[in-house]
Structure 1
Amino acid sequence: MSEDTHAAGPRPTGREYWEDRYRESERIWSGEPNAALVAEVGGVQPGTALDLGCGEGGDAVWLARRGWRVTAVDISEVALQRARDGAARSGVADRVDTRRHDLAESFPQGSFDLVSACFLHSREDMPRERILRTAASRVAPGGLLLVVGHAGHAHWEQEAEQQVALPTPPQVLEALHLPQQEWQVQRAEEREREHASAGGHHADSVVKLRRR
């Protein structure tokens, strides 16, 4: 393969990358909610939720079926349409509001009882730390911020995936720059989970905070 940058063409934007990724197949995720979300939010009184990087809507539908009113955000319109379809099939379309945002450029307004950012990673340039600080600002008093990520890379990942930064829970907390008097750390740990697929990971980084 030539390394000539002109021959390679321009680098795709974040939106182009994710639209192409979702178009590759009819579904790329399992459709099931993330295990960490279920464990950390399953017993919480429903309210309003903001699901950042909602993908095909597995988390959003799970929350809506438990009474949450969910604003589901993604950069990909293909993913959002699948999320809408999934919400309709589950009978919760009236409780899932899908919105397209490139979180590096725009962000939903308002405050939420839960702000969830599960596996908000990207090979493309993405100001993840700034996005998560903005996410924290959207948490209502008494509400929760949940940040879940991969805890380390799998050995089979491609070189481009290996270059994606995967911060530890302490690093996530440090990058958030949250005033201790305003926030209570309820969880900051790496958690093993069952290996679901050849592209999956064995452990998650879980950070859960409550706004006082």
Structure 2
Amino acid sequence: MGLRELKRERTRRLIADKAFELFCHHGFGRTTVEQIAAAAEVGPSTLYRYFPTKETLVLEFVEESLMGAVTWFRDQPATAVPDGLQAVIERVLDELERNPDRVRAVYEMADETWSVAAHLQALIWRFREELTDELVRRMSGPDPVLVKFSAALSAGSAMNIIETVVGMWVENPDGLEVRELARRAMGLLHGDGIPLPAAVPGPGDNAPHGP
């Protein structure tokens, strides 16, 4: 990374950190872009060049954790899909676990502000799509539609594990280990240990079907 790029990255990080401090102290809705720019000692126009919306400031840390894991995965050699997914999951969780206070603050802001929640869901969907594309590139089969189907299901399972593990960890910060939860979830998937609920019968569904 050159000197110019390093300076840009430092500025970007400073803006994101100052924004999060203000969000945590004053709340997302009561913090203005002008206040964030002043705290980071940049102009509002400079701030907008790095972060087009306040929501992207909240989710910058989560975006780096999710999309950084996909970028890392693209550079890895071919491996079995379950092993690759586990590596991606653990990489995301490792990044999130380094800053638990920020993860919990993101959850709180998403609960309180619909625009943050909407941007978070869009980010999650982007992660799933990009991970699906990478899995398609790595998988093979005679029917490309089925390959895409399997890749999408695999990417969805990875994201579900990440969301479930992080949610449980946020609720129980002192009693759970993130990596252990992730390994347990992958073990359940490998061993068919996650039961699917039976469909609740509707009116008339108790009658026998077929001849």
| TM-score, normalised by the number of residues in structure 1 | 0.28
- Flag the structure with higher strand content: 1
- Flag the structure with higher helix content: 2
